Amino acid sequence: YSDMKPDNLLVFRSMEIKIGDLGMSVKMDCRIKNGDQEHYKAKGYTPGFIPNAIKQKFENPDNFLLSRNEMIKADIYALLLTF
């Protein structure tokens, strides 16, 4: 997804959670089988809701690509901060 934060989560009384604001979402390329291959351009992350490793990538434009695994870990990290 790449922009997980409280403002983009809809929580219902039934405790169901839906993701909103898909403007910054990233479509995964199913042809890339290695989850550690850095292929996706980092964009749309909110600084308070990303791990330090990804913050450092934003600061270094030469290393601006993320792997699928890094993006998933970033979303999980943001969810843990939210709840």
Using CA of residue 1, residue 17, residue 56, residue 35, what is the dihedral sign? negative
Q: Which stretches of 1-83 are assigned E, i.e. beta strand?
A: 9-11, 17-19, 38-41, 65-67
Q: Quickly tell me which residue has 């983009």 as its tokens.
A: 8
Entry pTM: 0.75
* Backbone φ and ψ of 5, nearest 5°: -165, 165
Q: Token pair for residue 43?
A: 């964009």
Q: Do β-strands 65-67 and 38-41 pair in parallel, antiparallel, or remain unpaired?
A: antiparallel
Contact between residue 65 and residue 56 where contact means Cβ atoms under 8 Å apart: no
Q: What is the pLDDT of residues 12-66, one digit of tens each?
A: 999 898 988 877 677 778 888 888 888 887 777 788 888 988 888 877 767 678 8
- Nearest-Å Rg of the Cα atoms of the chain is 13
Q: What is the pLDDT of residues 9-24, one digit of tens each?
A: 898 999 898 988 877 6
